[in-house]
Amino acid sequence: MKQPLIEFKDFTFRYKSQTEATLHDINLTIYQHQKILILGASGSGKSTLAHCINGLIPFSFEGEIKGSVQVAGIETINASIFDLSKQVGTVLQDSDAQFVGLSVGEDIAFSLENDNVLRKDMLMKVTDAATVVGMQDFLAAVPYRLSGGQKQKVSLAGVIHEDVQILLFDEPLASLDPAMGKTAIELIDDLHNINQKTVIIIEHRLEDVLHRPVDRIILMDEGRIVADTTPDQLLVSNLLSTYGIREPLYLSALKHAGCEVLASDGPGDVHTMDLSRFDDQLKAFEKKYVASIDKQYASKLIEVNHVSFAYDKEKVLKNVSFDIYSGEKIAIVGKNGAGKSTMAKMLCGVIRPDEGHILINQSDYRQMTIKELGEMMGYVMQNPNQMLVKDIIKDEVGLALKLRKMTEEQIDERVNEVLKTCNLYSMRNWPVSAVSYGQRKRITIAAILALKPTVILLDEPTAGQDYRHYTEILSFLEELHEKMNLTILFITHDMHLAIEYTDRAIVFADGECIRDDQVYRVLSDPEIIERANLKQTSLYSLANRIGRTPEALIDQFITLEREGKR
């Protein structure tokens, strides 16, 4: 029997520091044993909604509440956060922040410690919880030895001993490499099916969540629920494009082929959806395919020759070689800890090879100082907060020029030019702290561009950003690429980015460069995918279902997407 578990009634919430309400007139009922996905652009109020369920609102965030929320029969406004934590287990987005123990076992035990459980009872419960998530052999492991995915699993284990009914995940995939993300979704699904939990997932990456079925999708925009429907219905509506959510790749591919997908085809799952109606269209689509020609580049810019490097004893880079040509767009991909960021630091000269050498424009880069290399090679780190030091946007962008002792006029000219290219000119006198994460990222890019580098290295440029911001940043880079013939290296876990914006992928696994080839070839090679913890995109599954080689389908898809963007 369907039993309501969470009930929002005419619920409105305003943060104390805001003048406008963040959630408006929410009416939502979630039943026992459902699996729900909440979608929506950044700032649409998803996390705020989650905080109302787990009790952080009003416990930790002050504000004004109208209407009511009941969770398992408890009115949350009157309940303590501790009572609610017996009903709702929350896994926060940032697994580094949620991991408070000094070892896996300790972190899983954290809520038991707080509950004053005797140690002998604790040991058993911890082992049980760890077994559920498959971490029982890692109880003594320390946090910085774990990958992002493993940390996520530990966070999950830490909230399931209370026998909670509801599990709440706020962006569980944000920091994971593709293979880890897939494992996480499978694990969540098992908890839903085997342990009979009610599951709520908040996530931007629709395609990845749909790897396992969900019952309902709730779409939010500006604090309101704009759709509450099944995946099949949502995928065939135009809501996704209206609210800036990325459509799964297989659906885009089917659209390119001219197929009109209906909810009755079951588009929610690429493995089971009914494709029989589209035989003709797909055949015609296949006929249109012309294999793309590898781009040729004239001048070799950087040559990495048999480079090895170790921070301590263990080699982090092992005999790595590749070339970079002027004007290329390259994706550097591979699993967590494979040595990608280390390679980026090495290209910038912050660390230098123990063995092997790097040539830049044919001359050995050992003679160049970090400062000189910095002018040529721009490195944009993953976290913009690690790069921003000044109060005012204009000063931030001009900092490096000032340090290079340029005159005021020269600086002004250069800064204004860059700010205009980056669409930041109108905000040049704003404090850095008053802009959004995506804009901060753009400021860091502007600060690097002010040095007029010939190569720009971006470490995880899109992590944690919604599709709208993501597209904004990438089309901007694309523009610079065209205008200034900038060579761009993306370090990324995002296969969509690789597919849509780069020509070549350099794949790292455990310190070795295991492949250097066109993106579509890399993504259709099962062995590389396996070794580098990548994931087969849904295009790969689609290709298998319609009897085409994945390589051809992905190649054709990329070509069409690029044409579409022009």
Partner 1 sequence: MKDKFLINIVPGDTFLHKLSGTTKVRLFVALLVFITMSFDLRLILPVFILTLIGVISAKPNWKQVKLIMSVVLFFNLLNIFLFYVANPTVGEYWCGQLTMLGKLNNYFVFPVETFWYLFVRLIKMLTNFMVSLWFITTITPSEFAAGLYSLGVPYKVCTVVSLGFRYIPDIARDYENIKISMQLRGVEMDAKRTKITERLKQMVLILVPLIITSFDRVQTIANGMDLRGYGRNKMRTYYCEHESTKADKIFQFLTLILFIFSIGYIISVNVWPPQTRMWCPIVWR
Partner 2 sequence: MKRSLGSLLLGKWDTPTVVAVAIGAALFGVLMNYGSITVFTNTRLTTAMLVPVIVGGLFGALPAAVACFFGNVFADLLGGWGYWFDWSTGNAVLGFMVGMLPVYGANIKEGVFNAKHAVIFAVIAVLANMIAFGVVTPIMTMLLYGGELTITFMQSFAASLSNITVLILAGIPLLYALAKRYAKGTNLSRE
Ligand X SMILES: Nc1ncnc2c1ncn2[C@@H]1O[C@H](COP(=O)(O)OP(=O)(O)OP(=O)(O)O)[C@@H](O)[C@H]1O
Per CB under 8 A, residues contacting partner 1 are 54-56, 59-60, 81-82, 85, 90, 92, 94, 96-103, 105-106, 109-120, 122, 126, 140, 142-144, 158-159, 312, 345, 348, 350, 370-371, 373-374, 377-379, 381, 383, 385-389, 399-400, 403-404, 447-448, 451
CB-CB contact of 179 with 238 (8 Å): no
Nearer to Mg ion, 414 or 469 (CB): 469
Least distance (Å) between residue 269 CB and partner 1: 32
From the list partner 2, ligand X, partner 1, none, pick the one residue 370 interacts with, judged by a Cβ distance below 5 to 8 Å according to partner type.
Answer: partner 1
Q: Which residues bind ligand X (CB under 6 A)?
A: 15, 17-18, 22, 40, 42-48, 61, 311, 316, 334, 336-342, 466
Distances (CA, A) of 201 to 61, 184, 317, 323: 21, 12, 37, 42
DSSP structural state of residue 248: P
Q: How far apart are CA 529 and CA 523, in angstroms?
A: 7
Which one, of 491, 486, 438, 446, lies nearest residue 466 by Cα?
438
**Any idea what the Cα angle at residue 49 is, between residues 192 and 89, rounded to 5°?**
40
Least distance (Å) between residue 464 CB and ligand X: 8
Q: Does 150 participate in binding Mg ion (rule CB under 5 A)?
A: no
Nearer to ligand X, 414 or 441 (CB): 441
From the list Mg ion, ligand X, partner 1, none, pick the one residue 279 interacts with, judged by a Cβ distance below 5 to 8 Å according to partner type.
Answer: none
From the list partner 2, Mg ion, ligand X, none, pick the one residue 61 interacts with, judged by a Cβ distance below 5 to 8 Å according to partner type.
Answer: ligand X
At residue 455, φ and ψ (nearest 5 deg) are -125, 140
Q: Which amino acid is at 426?
A: S
H runs (alpha helix) in 404-436: 408-421
Least distance (Å) between residue 491 CB and Mg ion: 6
At residue 42, φ and ψ (nearest 5 deg) are -60, 135
Q: Which amino acid is at 23?
A: L
Nearer to ligand X, 417 or 472 (CB): 472
From the list partner 1, Mg ion, ligand X, none, pick the one residue 22 interacts with, judged by a Cβ distance below 5 to 8 Å according to partner type.
Answer: ligand X
From the list partner 2, Mg ion, partner 1, none, pick the one residue 247 interacts with, judged by a Cβ distance below 5 to 8 Å according to partner type.
Answer: none
From the list partner 2, ligand X, partner 1, none, pick the one residue 431 interacts with, judged by a Cβ distance below 5 to 8 Å according to partner type.
Answer: partner 2
Cα first-last separation, the chain: 52
From the list partner 1, Mg ion, partner 2, none, pick the one residue 429 interacts with, judged by a Cβ distance below 5 to 8 Å according to partner type.
Answer: partner 2
CB-CB contact of 550 with 540 (8 Å): yes
Which one, of 37, 38, 27, 32, lies nearest residue 69 by Cα?
27
Which one, of 371, 380, 428, lies nearest residue 400 by Cα?
371
Q: How far apart are CA 350 and CA 352, in angstroms?
A: 7
Nearer to Mg ion, 98 or 341 (CB): 341
From the list Mg ion, partner 2, ligand X, none, pick the one residue 426 interacts with, judged by a Cβ distance below 5 to 8 Å according to partner type.
Answer: partner 2
Q: Which residues bind partner 2 (CB under 8 A)?
A: 17, 391, 426-431, 433-434
Element of type H or E holding 515:
strand 512-518
Nearer to partner 1, 60 or 272 (CB): 60
Nearer to ligand X, 281 or 382 (CB): 382
* Beta strand 23-31 pairing with 4-15: antiparallel
Catalog residues that contact Mg ion under the rule CB under 5 A.
Answer: 47, 341
